[in-house]
Amino acid sequence: MKSAFLVSLFAIMLSAAVCAQDSSSPTQDNSAPAQGNSAAPLYPASPHPIQPVDPNQDAAPQQMNQNTGQNDQMPVYRVNVYARTTKAVNYRHRGGSTMVDFRGTDLMPEVGGHAKIDGKAGRLAISVELTHLQPASKFGGQYLTYVLWAITPEGRAVNLGEVLPGGNGKDKIDVTTDLQAFGLIVTAEPYYSVTHPSNEVVAENILRQETTGFEEPIDAKFDVLEGAQYTIDVPAQQLPSTQANPRVPLDLLEARNAVAIAKAAGAKQYAPDSLAKAEDMLQRAEDYFQRNQGRTPIGTAARGASQMAEDARVLTLRRKEQERLEAERRATQEAQAKAEADAQAAQQQAAQAQAQSDEDARRRAEAERARAEAERQQAATLAQQQQAQAEAEAARQAAEDAERQKEEAERQNQELERQRQEADLQRQQAEQQTQEAVRQKEEMRARLLAQLNQVLQTRDTARGLIVSMPDVLFDFNKYTLKPEARERLARVSGIVLAYPDLKLQIEGYTDSIGSDEYNQTLSEKRAEAVRDYLVSSGVSMNNVAAQGMGKADPVADNRTAAGRKLNRRVEMIVSGDVIGSQITPGASGQSTQGITPINPQ
Query: What's the whole-model pTM score?
Result: 0.42
Instruction: Delineate the domains of the chain, giving CATH numbers in brackets.
Output: 81-228 (2.60.40), 233-365 (no CATH), 445-579 (3.30.1330.60)
CA distance 103 to 87: 12
Examine the pLDDT at 599 and tell me if it is beyond 90. no
Contacts of 180 (CB under 8 A, 6+ apart): 90, 91, 93, 124
Q: Report the greatest alpha carbon distance in the chain.
A: 148
User: Are the C-beta atoms of 213 and 79 separated by less than 8 Å?
Assistant: no
Closest CA to 290 of 45, 43, 39: 39
Report the SS3 class of residue 133: coil
Q: What does the pLDDT look like over 364-404, one tens digit per residue?
A: 998 988 889 888 888 888 888 888 788 888 888 888 888 88
**What is the pLDDT confidence band of residue 85, given thresholds at 50, 70 and 90?**
low
Handedness of CA 501, 506, 507, 509 (dihedral sign): positive
Say what the pLDDT of residue 43 is.
32
Measured CA distances, 58 to 51, 53, 55 (Å): 15, 11, 8
CA distance 508 to 522: 8
CA distance 456 to 595: 7
Where is pLDDT greater, at 13 or 367?
367
CA distance 84 to 100: 19
Examine the pLDDT at 214 and tell me if it is beyond 60. no
User: Are the C-beta atoms of 512 and 476 separated by less than 8 Å?
Assistant: no
**What is the pLDDT confidence band of residue 353, given thresholds at 50, 70 and 90?**
very high
Say what the pLDDT of residue 520 is.
92
| Highest-confidence segment of 216-225, 342-351, 423-432 | 342-351
- Mean pLDDT, rounded, for 281-298: 87
- The DSSP annotation for 51-118 comes to -PPPTTSPPPPTTS---TTS-TTS------EEEEEEEEEEPPTT-EEEEEEEEE-TTSTT-EEEEEEE
User: Are the C-beta atoms of 186 and 203 separated by less than 8 Å?
Assistant: yes
User: Residue 547: beta bridge partners?
Assistant: 507
Percent of the chain with pLDDT over 70: 78
Measured CA distances, 52 to 57, 58, 66, 235 (Å): 11, 14, 20, 12
One-letter amino acid identity for 533? Y
> Whole-number mean pLDDT of the chain?
77
Contacts of 198 (CB under 8 A, 6+ apart): 143, 187, 188, 189, 224, 225, 226, 227, 229, 230
Measured CA distances, 192 to 197, 308, 451 (Å): 11, 12, 88
Please, what is the Cα angle at 195 between 189 and 199, to 5 degrees?
45
Q: What does the pLDDT look like over 153-168, one tens digit per residue?
A: 888 889 999 998 777 7
CA distance 58 to 77: 17
Name the DSSP letter for residue 234: S
Examine the pLDDT at 595 and tell me if it is beyond 50. no
Closest CA to 507 of 559, 464, 452, 536: 464
Q: What does the pLDDT look like over 122-131, one tens digit per residue?
A: 888 999 999 9
- Mean pLDDT, rounded, for 313-336: 89
**What is the pLDDT confidence band of residue 232, given thresholds at 50, 70 and 90?**
low
Q: What does the pLDDT look like over 69-82, one tens digit per residue?
A: 333 333 322 333 44
**What is the pLDDT confidence band of residue 89, given thresholds at 50, 70 and 90?**
confident
Closest CA to 444 of 575, 579, 331, 571: 579
Q: At what angle do helices 516-536 and 483-497 cross, to 10 degrees?
A: 60
Contacts of 555 (CB under 8 A, 6+ apart): 566, 567, 569
**What is the pLDDT confidence band of residue 44, given thresholds at 50, 70 and 90?**
very low
